[in-house]
Amino acid sequence: MTQSAPSKRTQVNRLPKRGDYSKETIYGILDAAFLCHVGFVVDGQPYVIPTGYGRDGGTLYIHGSAASRMLRNLEKGIEACITVTLIDGIVLARAAFHHSMNYRSVVLLGTATFIDDAEAKMSALRAISEQIVPGRWKEARLPNAQELKATTVLAMPIDEASAKIRTGPPVDDEEDYGLDIWAGVLPLSMHAGAPISDPRLMSRIESIPEYILNYRRR
């Protein structure tokens, strides 16, 4: 997929060679995660709030309590910055100055839209659920009318966005490559542990669903 032209706000200025503006790359990073940080300003005070999300096509969905300050302000149409970061490794150079991390990140700018239609709201909630644990939505009890009313769902178009990626080994000053110091990459990834059953699980439920036992992040 060809690179899209970045906006002035999403142009990567520091180490621009690490920037990527293609939807293929941006969507791929968003699909590999489920936690984002939402930045916004209210009355001159900046806030950054972590929250789960889901992507469906060119839209990112976030949700929460209807009483949430973040969601109540975002639904007014204020500007927001949503970031997603995946850490793939710690990069250990010979010189402390050149230590780094291998990472994949996305910065998304724009304004969110309040979803009022019940069917669209349910579809967005499904996208969030499937983003976090694929397969869970079809098994869980779905939200009832009261629960839907108590939940705010916002949609953010993935239009003004950029990705930034670092891969590979450390990059030291040429004269430091002869130092007697180990250098390289310590890979990091998210791994699911063994499922822990709810102590109040009904006794007749003996098996853990395959989608939980085989849970993997992309």
Q: What is the pTM of this model?
A: 0.91
Strands of the chain, DSSP E: 19-20, 35-42, 45-56, 59-65, 80-92, 100-110, 113-114, 151-157, 160-166, 184-187
Q: One digit per residue, pLDDT tens: the chain, 218 residues?
A: 445 677 777 777 676 777 678 999 999 999 999 999 999 999 999 999 999 999 999 999 999 999 999 999 999 999 999 999 999 999 999 999 999 999 999 999 999 999 999 999 999 999 999 999 999 999 999 999 999 999 999 999 999 999 999 999 999 999 999 999 999 999 999 999 999 999 999 988 889 999 999 998 86
Task: Kindly state whether residue 156 falls inside one of the protein's structural domains.
Answer: yes
Tell me the residue range of the domain where 165 lies.
16-172+184-191
- Considering the domain boundaries, does residue 113 fall inside one? yes
User: What 3-state DSSP class applies to 78?
Assistant: coil
**Which CATH number goes with the domain that contains 111?**
2.30.110.10
Residue 129 lies in a domain: yes
- Counting the structural domains of the chain, the total is 1
Whether 213 is in a domain gets the answer no
In a domain, residue 1? The reply is no
Nearest to 157 by CA among 92, 80, 217: 80
User: In this structure, which amino acid lies at residue 102?
Assistant: N
Query: Does residue 30 contact residue 55 with C-beta atoms inside 8 Å?
Result: yes
Residue 157 falls inside a structural domain: yes
Beta strand 113-114 with 160-166 is unpaired
Give the number of other Cβ atoms within 10 Å of residue 172's Cβ. Answer: 17
